[in-house]
Structure 1
Amino acid sequence: MHIGVTSPVVIDHPASRTEWERHAGIDELARVAETADRLGYHHVTCSEHVAVPTRIAAERGGVYWDPLATFGYLAARTRRIRLNTRVLVLGYHHPLEIAKRYGTLDAVSGGRLILGLGVGSLAEEFALLDAPFADRGARADEALLALRGGLSTPYPEFHGTFYDYADVEVRPHAVQPRVPFWIGGRTTRSLRRAVTLGDGWLPFGLTVQQIDEMLRKADLPAGFEVVLDSGRPLDPLGDRDATLRVLERRCAVGATVVSATFVSTDADHYCDQLAALHEFAGEAGVTFESASPETPSGIDESSR
């Protein structure tokens, strides 16, 4: 099981953001990412909302850093850690737009992109962006097919109901032969979509028991990633045993990756928490990246 970092600073959610994050910026975020990168954490995250209506922002938060701009900066400040959109809303983008923008990110980062992708649920935001909402599931499925066939080639072609294109050139494009797709959701349908069209599942809004029950009924392919969050901020410095219990519980239900948040009072404390967990997380079956290669395994250095 690997462990990644649900990035601080980039989201202002009323239920989870700490006081220091409200006054932090790119320097503090980069310090956390650099520390996680040096220690061998698996990934950092960045979510997507374009324009949250103010009445909804009171519940969901109104601050969401743009993942493409954020990861472009962090890619230059790190060497190995993966860059995970968590999640990119498929209905807000044409597949070719994702292929060009995030394919470029994969290229400049040396093949470190993980596309966390979702159908989306905020109808008001769809309306603001003039994006179809009612058939967003079918559109998302087709977009996934289009991306799978065209993200890593300069000459993508696709013919479907919602998207149809050929005789186009998209350069630069993703350098990974198969960019991992982690599909977000909280329903059996989202898990089915992840199994058939993706490489991993990012459940949210579910208990560990609910996730366990859903996974027991699913036929997961080899290499499929089950990516669970930590459920609550981890405190490796203050409560080692509770931290281990959280990780062990997720490992027991089949998590292959945990994306964690941490108790922290400032960026330095956050980095100290990362270092503390690195010291003992192996007891819960957590594996950190090797410090020797500077790119993730399976990435051809010549493609950078």
Structure 2
Amino acid sequence: MRLGLSTPVVVQTPGVASAWENGAGIDDVVRIAKVADELGFDYLTCSEHVAVPADQGAGRGFVYWDPVATLAFLAAHTSGIRLATSIVVLGYHHPLEIAKTYGTLDLISGGRVVLGVGVGSIEAEFAMLGSSWPDRGARADDAIRALRTSLSDPRPSYDGQFYRFSDVIVEPCAVQPHLPIWVGGRTPRSLRRAVQLCDGWMPFGLGGRALTEMLASVDIPDGFDVVLGPGPLDPLGDPARTERRLRGLRDVGATIINCSITAESVGHYCDQLAALRALADTIEQEDA
């Protein structure tokens, strides 16, 4: 059973983040990253918001560490765990900027980047950054196509609806011949975008029935990742519920489970990671 980690501290969403995360720092995140790496977790995440409007913090929170700086630092302290953006907002960047930034991260991490992308959901943030809001979906599709041609090619060219480039050199580029791109979102369109253009889908805020219906509506390609989150888990305090959530998401169609964990301290968090890994391994052995 593949388990990814929705990294604590670097994003603090109300109702999800534990109290200890407020005031925690990079040393705590590194400690968790090392433990997750040693336990065989699939990836760590970091999200992107440049500036959250002050009137939207109640639902989203305000803490969003920069994904490039954060994941690059964690790359230096880990060896095998992948580094996933969850997500990069496509409308905030030119595709070549993303290709250079995350291609460099892929190089220095030894080919461990997963590029999670999305169309964005805060109109005020788009306006502040001078990005186009009404056509963000079409621009995102074009950006993904441009990225697919650019991430692993030092001499990319592309001629699309919104982005066009040729006769350029982008060095360094990604060392993975096919760097995985996952799409975030919660709509049927986000799933279609993922299936048609990318390598995985990582939805949020959807119940089991909605997920089942949406996944049944498309033909899932071979090797396509469905990355589902069970909500905050407490494997030490409530292992039975944790097991039900893991099994339930696997039965819905998850190929990777994106885990967030409740804890009282960084030490407790690391203990929870070990308990979660052991529980997932037990489930896998029982069902083998």
Q: Same fold (TM over 0.5)?
A: yes
Using the TM superposition, give the Cα deviation of residue 284 of structure 1 relative to its aligned residue in structure 2, in angstroms. Answer: 2.8
* Secondary structure class of the residue paired with 2:44: strand
Q: Which residues in structure 2 correspond to 1:9-24 (within 5 Å)?
A: 9-24=9-24
| Residue matched to 1:62 | 62
- Within 1, Cα distance between the matches of 2:253 and 2:214? 11
Question: Which residue pairs with 2:97 in the alignment?
Answer: 97
CA contact (8 A) 1:248 1:285 kept: no
**In the alignment, what sits opposite 2:216?**
216
Return the offset for 1:32: 0.4
Unaligned segments of structure 2, at least 5 residues: none
Q: d(CA) in 2 for partners of 1:2 and 1:281? A: 8
Provide the rounded CA distance (Å) in 2 between the counterparts of 1:260 and 1:285. Answer: 17
Q: Does 1:248 align with 2:247?
A: yes
Q: Which residue of 2 is the match for residue 302 of structure 1?
A: none
Q: Does the CA contact (< 8 Å) of 1:9 and 1:29 recur in 2?
A: yes
Q: Secondary structure at the match of 1:77?
A: coil
Aligned to 1:281: 280
Deviation string, structure 1 residues 36-57 (Cα, Å, up to 9, x no partner): 0011000110000001111112
Q: Secondary structure at the match of 1:196?
A: helix
Superposition deviation, residue 12 in structure 1: 2.3
Q: 2:17 touches 2:262 (CA, 8 Å); kept in 1?
A: no
The CA distance in 1 between the partners of 2:254 and 2:115, in whole Å, is 18
Partner residue, 1:293: none
One-letter identity of the residue aligned with 2:239: R
SS state at 1:133 partner: coil
Classify the secondary structure of the residue corresponding to 2:182.
strand
Tell me the SS of whatever aligns to 1:280: helix
Match of 1:203 in 2: 203
Distance 2:28 2:162 in 1: 41
State the partner residue of 1:46.
46
**Secondary structure in 1 matching 2:24:** coil
Aligned twin of 2:264? 265
Give the letter for the 2:156 counterpart. P
- d(CA) in 2 for partners of 1:100, 1:177: 15
Unaligned runs of 5+ in 1: 287-304
Take 2:58 and 2:5, find their aligned partners in 1: how far apart are those partners? Answer: 25
Q: Give the partner amino acid of 1:237.
A: L
Answer whether contact 2:115 2:182 (CA < 8 A) is retained: yes
For 1:263 and 1:61, the matched residues in 2 are separated by 17
Offset of residue 58 of structure 1: 3.1
1:296 corresponds in structure 2 to none
Alignment of 1:73-222 (within 5 A): 73-222=73-222
Q: Which residue of 2 aligns with 1:30?
A: 30
Separation in structure 2 between the aligned mates of residue 17 and residue 275 of structure 1, nearest angstrom: 19
Secondary structure in structure 2 of the residue aligned to 1:184: strand
Count of residues in Structure 1 that have an aligned counterpart in Structure 2: 285
Runs of 4+ that moved beyond 6 A: none
Contact 1:251 1:285 in 2 (8 A): no
Does the residue aligned with 1:115 lie in a helix, a strand or coil?
strand
Residue identity in the other structure for 1:117 = V
| Aligned residues: CA RMSD | 1.0
Please say if 1:234 is aligned against 2:233.
yes
Aligned partner letter, 1:261: S
Partners in 1 of 2:16 and 2:150 — Cα distance?
Answer: 37
Instruction: Give the structure, 1 or 2, with the largest relative contact order (CA under 8 Å, sep 6 or more).
Output: 1
SS at match of 1:174: coil
TM-score, L = length of structure 2? 0.97
SS at match of 2:176: coil
